[in-house]
Amino acid sequence: MKRVGLGVSRWRAGDRVVALLEGGGYAEEVAVRETQVLPVPDGVDLVDAAALPEAACTVWSNLVDVGRLRSGEWVLIHGGSGGIGTFAIQVARALGAHVATTAGGPERTARCIELGADLAIDHREQDFVDEVRKATDGRGADVVLDLLGGGALGDNVRALARGGRLVVIGMQQGRRGELDLSALLARRGTVTGTLLRSRPVDEKARIVADTEKHVWPLVADGRVRPVVHARVPFSEAQSAHDLLESGEAFGKVLLVP
């Protein structure tokens, strides 16, 4: 941290920090509210720590606040090889949940197992609804964390257990989907859509505080770690986008000076 504003009491110039930004992360310097700043966890490299704030706040707020995930429950995490997915697998495991995830190809599913998933489903070859039901003796997932959106809506509902919670946080497969209400009603399920960026300031402050309280100790003791696929210089930002679009990245891609 280079400097602090008037009225800031917790932070001082020179502190090792990361932050949940409003946007505009492609910058060498940013201004951010005091309540959205977090200390770099013990044992984490300062640059790799940049992979933490948005992933950690997204995962904690959606798995726990919205999804109400509890120890012993089954969670299905879509996109287990991505920046959010790799983090969500580890947090869910640390909370004592059983983790199923989807990824593309045997190498990526194997790496998801290494991160702590109980079941890694190759979405190129397997039907995730069938695989989740097999793993849960036909019961289904208590929580589904979904980045796919409309294209997976029907299958996600079919994958839910009774009382299951579908939390939609992305639209990689489109904005619109068809919902069979009879299937949702039969499961007494709920569907919730959330965005982190558009939340009010006070909500973001609470999420950041909860993340520091509950997730940062998991990072400090090594149960959860940032998964960084590559560090790419600002001058090569387009290659970072190309890497993400190629589907080859496992975890986060960081832009660095």
| pLDDT tens track for 56-97 | 999 999 999 999 999 999 999 999 999 999 999 999 999 999
59 inside domain: no
Judge if 157 and 248 occupy the same domain: no
170 inside domain: yes
| Category of 186 on φ-ψ map: left (φ > 0), alpha (ψ -120 to 50) or beta | alpha
Predicted pLDDT at 218: 97
Give the list of residues 6+ apart from residue 233 with CB closer than 8 angstroms, or none: 255, 256, 257
Judge if 46 and 80 occupy the same domain: no
CATH of the domain at 76: 3.40.50.720
85 inside domain: yes
Give start and end residues of each alpha helix (H) in 102-162.
106-115, 128-135, 153-158
Predicted pLDDT at 24: 76
How far from 190 is each of 54, 129, 137, CA to CA, in Å? 25, 17, 21
Tens-digit pLDDT profile for residues 37-47: 999 998 999 99
Q: In this structure, which amino acid lies at residue 94?
A: A
End-to-end CA distance of the chain: 16
Range of the domain at 204: 17-53+198-256
Beta pairing class for 252-256 and 228-233: parallel
**Would you give per-residue pLDDT tens digits along the chain (257 residues)?**
889 999 999 999 999 999 999 877 888 889 999 999 999 998 999 999 999 999 999 999 999 999 999 999 999 999 999 999 999 999 999 999 999 999 999 999 999 999 999 999 999 999 999 999 999 999 999 999 999 999 999 999 999 999 999 999 999 889 999 999 999 999 999 999 999 998 999 999 999 999 999 999 999 999 999 999 999 999 999 999 999 999 899 999 999 98
Kindly report the pTM of this predicted structure.
0.95
Predicted pLDDT at 207: 98
The separation between CA 116 and the C-alpha centre of its own chain, rounded to angstroms, equals 15
Q: In this structure, which amino acid lies at residue 184?
A: L
- Token pair of 215 as six digits: 């997730």
Judge if 152 and 233 occupy the same domain: no
Judge if 83 and 142 occupy the same domain: yes
Nearest to 169 by CA among 91, 58, 88: 58
| DSSP state letters, 154-182 | HHHHHTEEEEEEEEE---TT-S-----HH
247 inside domain: yes
Nearest to 50 by CA among 257, 221, 217: 257
**End position of a domain, from candidates 140, 164, 193:** 193
Judge if 85 and 167 occupy the same domain: yes
Judge if 129 and 84 occupy the same domain: yes
The burial class, CB within 10 Å (0-12 / 13-18 / 19+), for 151 is middle
d(Cα 11, Cα 32) in Å, to the nearest integer?
Answer: 12
